[in-house]
Structure 1
Amino acid sequence: MPSPLLAPVAVSGSVTFFLWINNTSTAPVAVTGSFDYLLPGGGSLWNNISSPTPHTLQRGFHAANFTLQIGQPPLTYGTQLSFSLNATARLPNGNVTLYWGSIQVPSHAAVVLSQYETMPQPNPVAILDHSGNPTTYFSLNPDPGNNIVLIQVSVISAFGPLDISKVNLTIVNQNQNNRPTGPADQNMTPYLPYSQLSPPPYVFLATWSYPPNSTQGTYQVWIDIVDVQGNIAFSYQGPSFGLVPPGYVPFPYSLIPYIVVAGVAASGGAGGAMLYRRRRRKSYLIPFDHFSTMTGGGLDGGTVVAVEGNTGSGKTRLLEQLMAEDLRNGRPCVFVSTGDFPNSIRTNMKTMGVDVSGYEQNGLLTFVDGYSAEAGQESREKVFVPSIGDLTTLGIRISSAFPSPSFKGGSLYFDSLTPLASKARPESIVSFVQSVGAKVKGLQGKAFFAVGLGVDGTVQRQLEDTSDCIVQMEAFEESGSRKRRLRIAKFRARKHQEGWALFTIEDGKGIIFYSKRPKR
């Protein structure tokens, strides 16, 4: 293929060759197909998967079909792909001709892919007013020229923007059983004249000028991405907005993208922040990328991170959300689950709009099951341990899950160390963390270790000494309501924010922070 992948893709496991061949030799010809891929940073070392048994063609013109099983290779960002054929004549002076490129003789190789066109999560769709400001509500009695809803969509294509035939917009009325209202399969316009080498994401725009007789209600944005072959490669049911009368007070809360219980919400701020008022104070809800601001610019490779917190403080959700970002950026991840079944993690990720099955298929994500055996059940995972108390075996299984050398720059998520406290000695747990953490750092990766309050004090202190970064989380009660907060207690050699930040966990969005100022 002409250029490397611009995003990860998942394959079905096979390639089918459809060939039109003319063999002029008097003897049969042996034809083999090959699927080749070169991982980023792999130099000139191509991975080759060829037909184990040649396909034999007799003399004359033939249509030949055969399938090559290729498994699920890790087709990550930057991977180069190639399909090749080899025809070997058993007698000299033979001539083998491959016909392709026309309707009559359409020789081609077919491979079923998924996730080759998608949308970056968690917020790939922005709803803007006529001035380009994020908003949630539009007046049914607007000033002249203000009856415009601007939809901005971000799209990722592994094969570049020229593989995107069109991005279709449909707006449905949720109060009328999702009946299309206004645009229906409207072709959105690219924001820029993208070239084949333009990096993703690609932004598409569309506007809806709602008529004066529009009805009050909740409207939702639906998006279909259509590839150059006419297939709907990706469908997405996006955010909602309201058409409301003047003076409308936002209720019920289900109309609001970011919900604040016991607060009165109203649109405000920039960058998608929502304002709420409570006890004469103003606060803003801002997206999860505020975590990067708190850490002084994100978490780099070669970092060991301890995530501490009491029960219900959101440790697992934080790891899931950080892992979702890594996967979307093409970084391989290993998730060690000792406190719950891996399927629970998959379900949690899906509620945030991240279906991890494709990442597992292409080798970007591996689960290590340390929970099923403790729960008395047989593991369904490829990598599992019979007992989390056997730290030697656990360390070996974790190392085997690293897809070396492609794991370089990847992330290990260990959730959590707390169940190990009743199974192994404190000094063994400390040694285990230091060994695994050093191995990940040596691969320029990131290692996250979640730990609750039930571990030995020695383990916690030495874990904090070993860690480059310490994230502390807390769930607490205040005025009869449950609250959560987070802070960066330590970041070695990095300037960072040290104060506590309140946050909430919303279905479909994960962690959302409270702030005294809107995100700019």
Structure 2
Amino acid sequence: MVTRPRALIPLVALALTLSLAAVPLVEAVAPYTLTISPTVPVSLGSTITMTLTVSGGTRNSAYTVTFDVVKPNGTGSATVIRTVTTDNRGNGAISQFYPDPSFTAASGTVATDVGGVYNVYVNQTSPTSIGTVATGQFTVSSALNVVISQPVPGTVLQRGQTTIISATVSALSGPDNAATVYANTPSSGRLLLPQTSPGVYTVNYLVSSSDPTGTWSMVVQASDTIGNSGISAPVNITIAKNDLIIDSLVAYNSKGDPTTSFSTGDSIHAFFRIKYSLGTSYLTSGQYAVGLRNPSGALIANLTAAYDTSRFGFYTSTGYPVSTFDPGGTWTLIVSANSVNDGFGNTGPDLATSLPLQIVTSPLSYWPFVAAGIVAVLGGIVTVRRFDTSLEGFQHLEQMMGGPLPRGASILLLGDAGSGKTILSYQLLHDELESGRLCALLSYDAFPEDVQARMTEFGWDIISHLRKGRFKIIDCYSGLAGQGEGAIKDPSDLTELNIQITSFIAKAKGGPVTVVLDSLTPIFNGVDEKQAINFIQTLGAKVKKTGGLLIETASKGAIPDDAAAKLKTMADGVFELGIVRSRGKSHRFLTVPKMERRRISSDSVPFQIDRIRGFVFRVSRFRLLKKRFFDVLAQHHIFRSAESGENKPKPPPIKGPPPRPR
């Protein structure tokens, strides 16, 4: 029997259905999409958002995935397991933050704390484990963008002027509000800029009078606590000097009264203040010359003005004495242009500052000299005066102080600038060396080679003493002048100076030493007054304990008045030196107001500095002869008294009360 095809169709369909039912179902991979935000590079410490989306997956199903974040250069990795649930259309999504506490670190830290590219891998683990289904990347940068907004390039600032320094700091994610920001100063210091608004850091800077002039290449650096950092492009600023102005030039007479009218027998003193052209500050140190011109315009004298703390300005303590021979009329006190310098390159005044004075002379004042000329014959008087003047050498100093310098003492040489303090200290030092004593010079005012050259000019040999180790120059000037490091790196470091002196004294093994300190002025400028006084007291005690000498120099007006008074009290001996410049010549005087254990002469003796003999004193021959005559008489009287005492029999002891004088 033949079967018909129509009857076979149901049987074939049934067999096909059964065969399909016997084959296991294979689930398709759901389409995943990974989105990372932000898409641009971010700064260190930023948080990343990763969004995983499933589209067209199994409806109402759960997909388990693993996020694996691998840090740059193998510095760390971390994973987190998440589940994506689909809706009835097979769609679903989840968001994951990085860094986040839900991550488990396999190595390193869970943080965006390393710059570079971070790789993200998403692996499906259920309903079937099929490996990586999505990948992505994000970039972390550690650079901060720093831009200087003020001052602008090309700005010119004078010393004493205030400028605004402002900079914006931003990370890749926006303004950085947690940065530490510094700018460099003209003197290579660091200046902190506080935050004034989001991402903006600003400070006011006062250009110091000591800031170097020229180009200031300003840069601003910024860094935050998570490692971001950046530096600005340089902005070139020009620093100019701050001009000095002479303020309040006033003349005083010998009574201390301000005046512009002077007469014979009076003295002219000048007072003025030195002000910076920018700002409100005044100069309070240094010594400056004030010229005095007569009616013909000739320079008659240069008066030295030093800072007077009681007057808050510069004062010429040594004035110009008006004599009968000075012409009457209009005289002029003048501070020359650019004659003032504060030591930092600020100079002034731009133009000379002057004050007219009137000197009134009376015709009657000439009559005594006319009468003297008639009676005494001026030529004879001049001859006698010339004969009376004698130039005495350095040994005359012993006569002034009643003998040689006392041992175990401190000697202060106090005087005007240019009066000869340093030369006197060098000559005393040379005498000590020639006497075989161990000596040291603390040089605050000259380089060692300049000391040698200057002493050699006078024929004072110190080279041999240096070679034999009996003389040492402790260089405190090189560091002070900024010319490299001397024996003392920081001249204001009194501890280091004390150590060097103690070591030098120990070298004497108990023998006497002589220490010369030239000069005290830089010490008082470098440390406070109390510290300077304590140092000098300690140094004096150490030297005097050896039976030696401490010789120290100081300029009048360069140290505070109360400090100068203390120094005089502390010293065992004081030499005061003065200088008066008149008619183009300098006249120097020396006085010994104090010398312990000595009978001194308080006379002010004129002297000059000779290139061969050093200090040469101009003294009266008649006064010398008179003094020697009385010295001989005194010695003769002592001798006769002693002789008569030996030959005269001793009286018997008196019994009873002594007789009453009639």
* TM-score bucket of the superposed structures, by smaller chain: 0.3 to 0.5
When Rg is computed on C-alpha atoms for both structures, the one with the higher figure is: 2
With structure 2 as the length reference, what TM-score do the two structures score?
Answer: 0.35
Structure showing greater relative contact order (alpha-carbon pairs closer than 8 Å, 6 or more residues apart): 1
